[in-house]
Amino acid sequence: MTMLTCISPIDGSVFAEREALTIGDARATVDRSRDAQSGWAGRPLQERIDLVMAGVGAVGAMNDEIVPELARMMGRPVRYGGEFGGFNERASHMAEIAQTSLAPIKVGEDATFKRYIKRVPHGVVFVVAPWNYPYMTAINTVAPALIAGNTVILKHATQTLLVGERLAQAFHKAGVPEDVFQNVFLDHAITSALIAENAFDFINFTGSVGGGAEMERAAAGTFTGVGTELGGKDPGYVMEDANLDAAVETLIDGAMFNSGQCCCGIERIYVHESLFDDFLSKAIEIVNGYRLGNPLAPETTLGPMANKRFADEVRAQISEAVAAGASAHIPTFAEDDGGTYLTPQILTDVTHDMRVMRDESFGPVVGIMPVSGDDEAIALMNDSEFGLTASLWTRDVDRAEQVGDRIETGTVFLNRADYLDPSLCWTGCKNTGRGGGLSVIGYHNLTRPKSFHLKKVTS
């Protein structure tokens, strides 16, 4: 028997435990999902849309319980109210575009032939969701997969062990059949075994580069589609004509919100040398104003990191950088306990020889470097194994588009950061992974094309 245990970052106590499925029970779960799929896909599209959105509404009705539960599981302060706003926005958009996104592509019809391409569901979609934004990242795939006619099996991160249960409870209460959307508790070995057995028709994984590599290795030879969103080291670039106050406020928030544990959080900032000193002083003032503490307290603006090992990695990157010549600008907060509660940090005099500027930090630390102009900034932004988003700051949209064309990334932001627009494809390049979620492209990835070439009998 394997037990999955969620340790609360607030005080190190066991918050929740669940028993992982055996291989036999896991296979039975997949069988039920597969048996239910054709009946679900046979329902009218609008009926599937309505049931999914009813499930979304049922999650919203739980929000008063969900917010403190999230704080206990992964440390986000309750003052920020949870994730339902983004959760609802993403699901609602995918519901709104479903009819047109899934409509057959008409190629042509005349007296002799009728030709078109349909979008048909893969079948059983396996969603492996992360802990940092556990509701929003899950719904990115769950909602469009169900709407498109797939059945869904959801495996959530152990750090947010109860999220999948919440989602399944809400969707079942709303009328989505239990076998159509199932939450499972699986250990890594059983997960890999199921994938290797070709149990699923499509896999969506959000997590670490190492985890994504394990998914691809397990799926090797099965021809199962695997969509991944993996690591990031997202840069911000502040040009000489930028709105400085807006740039500082947005980029530092993008670096520190959720204790830096954001998929598209800002981890590197490049500032034109003419603005560097002013940017730095404003950034230091903002970070010194944070309140580190218990996420259940309403005055807390920065909670603990989700796990001590995550905080230890950030501390190691900071210590190595300082030892190599970097300057740390934030004095240690009194609440920093050497464990999950970690002082947010701003580093200057950093170089790309330091891990803090190369490796994913996924914590409340950011390195800031002065640059002479676009060419230097672009070279530095592209000097990364990752490519999720980049945030550009200038009043010149044409210039931003030209710089954006030269950046190796999935999304280019101008004068904003750390936001997922569901009408745009959420995607990355390099070691950030492959595939794309949300938008019409999200539907294309959760279905397969099926061509119809129909010759009419004319005599």
pLDDT tier, 1 (very low <50, low <70, confident <90, very high otherwise): confident
φ/ψ of residue 162, rounded to 5: -90, -5
Angle between helices 276-288 and 244-256 (to 10 degrees): 50
Q: Indicate which residue of 69, 229, 313, 360 is catalytic.
A: 229
> Is the pTM higher than 0.85?
yes
Helix then strand count (H, E) for the chain reads 15, 21
**Cβ(176)–Cβ(49) below 8 Å:** no
**Cβ(140)–Cβ(425) below 8 Å:** no
Query: How far is residue 103 CA from its own chain's centroid?
Result: 27
DSSP assignment, residue 456? P
Placement of tokens 């206990």 in the chain: 72
How many other CB atoms are there within 10 angstroms of residue 87's CB atom?
A: 25
Query: How far is residue 9 CA from its own chain's centroid?
Result: 21
| Residue boundaries of the structural domains of the chain | 3-230+433-455, 234-422
Q: Indicate which residue of 6, 262, 263, 264 is catalytic.
A: 263
Q: pLDDT tens, 281-322?
A: 999 999 999 999 999 999 999 999 999 999 999 999 999 999
Out of 3.40.309.10, 3.30.70.3000, 3.40.50.2000, 3.90.1300.10, which CATH number does the structure's domain 234-422 have?
Answer: 3.40.309.10
Tell me the C-alpha distance between 216 and 197, whole Å: 13
Q: Which two tokens stand for residue 295?
A: 């996420």
Tell me the C-alpha distance between 239 and 408, whole Å: 18
Q: pLDDT tens, 2-40?
A: 999 999 999 999 999 999 999 999 999 999 999 999 999
**Cβ(300)–Cβ(16) below 8 Å:** no
Q: Which two tokens stand for residue 370?
A: 């002065």
Dihedral, CA of residue 309, residue 312, residue 317 and residue 323, to nearest 10: -150
Q: State the average pLDDT over residues 142-165.
A: 98
pLDDT tier, 103 (very low <50, low <70, confident <90, very high otherwise): very high
Residue 149 backbone class (left: φ over 0; alpha: ψ -120 to 50; beta: rest):
left
Active site residue 229: yes
In this structure, which amino acid lies at residue 333? F
Is the pLDDT reported for residue 165 higher than 80?
yes
Tell me the C-alpha distance between 25 and 5, whole Å: 20
pLDDT tier, 442 (very low <50, low <70, confident <90, very high otherwise): very high
In this predicted structure, what is the pLDDT of residue 458?
Answer: 86
Tell me the C-alpha distance between 189 and 177, whole Å: 28
Q: pLDDT tens, 38-67?
A: 999 999 999 999 999 999 999 999 999 999
C-alpha angle 415-263-58 in degrees, rounded to nearest 5: 100
From the number of C-beta atoms within 10 Å of its C-beta (0-12, 13-18, 19+), residue 161 rates as buried
Helix (H) or strand (E) holding 209: helix 209-219
In this predicted structure, what is the pLDDT of residue 364?
Answer: 98
- Label residues 440-451 b or e (16+ Cβ within 10 Å = b): bbbbbbbbeeee
- Percentage of the chain beyond pLDDT 70 is 100
Is the pLDDT reported for residue 224 higher than 80?
yes
Residue 383, SS3 per DSSP: coil
The CATH topology of domain 3-230+433-455 is: Aldehyde Dehydrogenase; Chain A, domain 1 (3.40.605)
Query: How far is residue 394 CA from its own chain's centroid?
Result: 27
Active site residue 263: yes
In this structure, which amino acid lies at residue 88? N
- Label residues 115-140 b or e (16+ Cβ within 10 Å = b): ebeebebbbbbbbbbbbbbbbbbbbb
Is the pLDDT reported for residue 413 higher than 90?
yes
Cα–Cα distances (Å) from 54 to 61, 89, 91, 121, 236, in that order, read 11, 14, 11, 21, 38
Q: Which two tokens stand for residue 27?
A: 């296979």
User: What residues does 268 pair with on adjacent strands?
Assistant: 235, 367
Mean pLDDT, the chain, rounded, equals 97
- Percentage of the chain beyond pLDDT 90 is 99
In this predicted structure, what is the pLDDT of residue 418?
Answer: 87
Tell me the C-alpha distance between 251 and 412, whole Å: 14
Placement of tokens 């959000």 in the chain: 206
Closest of 440, 416, 414 to residue 426, by C-alpha: 440
Q: State the average pLDDT over residues 406-431.
A: 97
Tell me the C-alpha distance between 99 and 117, whole Å: 15
Tell me the C-alpha distance between 179 and 46, whole Å: 20
